[in-house]
Amino acid sequence: MHPKIKKILYATDLSDNSAYAFRYAMCNAKNHDAEIVVLHVLEALPGTAQALIKSMIEEDRLEHILEEKIDESKQRIEKRLRLFCDREFTDDPECVDRIHSIEVVEGYPAEEILKQAIELDCDLIIMGNHGKGFLSHAFLGSVAEKVLRRVKTPVLIIPLPEGETELTFHGI
């Protein structure tokens, strides 16, 4: 019996070459007739930095800034998804419709990926991985490694090529 994949969590850091991993998410969604949840995590500042900022800016203003950043990120992702589908999946008019939702949250990336995968009842997590230095073939990125240590959902890690690729749309 083949596993049924109905919902894929695609975690993106919005780097220039992250569209490379999105192609894997879209192909898997198409092959399994699944939907995709796009997740981007705005990394939380360390506690000391948060305390310093809170001492200089009112709480209401900080919340407003975060809401603006979340809205801006969602709009950027929506625009890039349409461009990607128009360019890469011309034979699939349902490409954009495969996107169940776009989630932009603040927190620690690995924690939020794990949390969202459970809360959104995802059957597969797909995320890119940036190699680090000359030992990139031996080590996963810190977020991917933290996710893999605690995840209960299957994960597909896509090694991202350095620099931009023909699939790059500056931030999918």
**Domain residue ranges in the chain:** 7-159
Q: Is the dihedral of CA 18, 24, 30, 32 positive or negative?
A: negative
Partnered with residue 58 across adjacent β-strands are none
Given a cut of 80, whether residue 82 has pLDDT beyond it is yes
Chain segment 99-144, per-residue pLDDT in tens: 999 999 999 999 999 999 999 999 999 999 876 554 444 445 688 8
Q: pLDDT above 70 covers what percent of the chain?
A: 87
Residue 56, exposed/middle/buried by CB under 10 A (0-12, 13-18, 19+)? exposed
Q: Which of 13-17, 21-25, 53-57, 142-146 has the lowest mean pLDDT?
A: 53-57
How many residues are present in the chain? 172
| Reported CATH class of domain 7-159 | alpha beta
Q: Dig out the tokens for 79 from the structure.
A: 């625009």
H-type alpha helices, the chain: 19-32, 47-56, 59-88, 109-119, 142-150
Mean of per-residue pLDDT scores for the chain: 84
Partnered with residue 158 across adjacent β-strands are 128
* Residue matched to tokens 């809205």: 71
Chain segment 52-65, per-residue pLDDT in tens: 777 777 878 888 88
pLDDT interval class at 69 (50, 70, 90): very high
For residue 101, the model assigns a pLDDT of 96
SS3 at position 93: coil
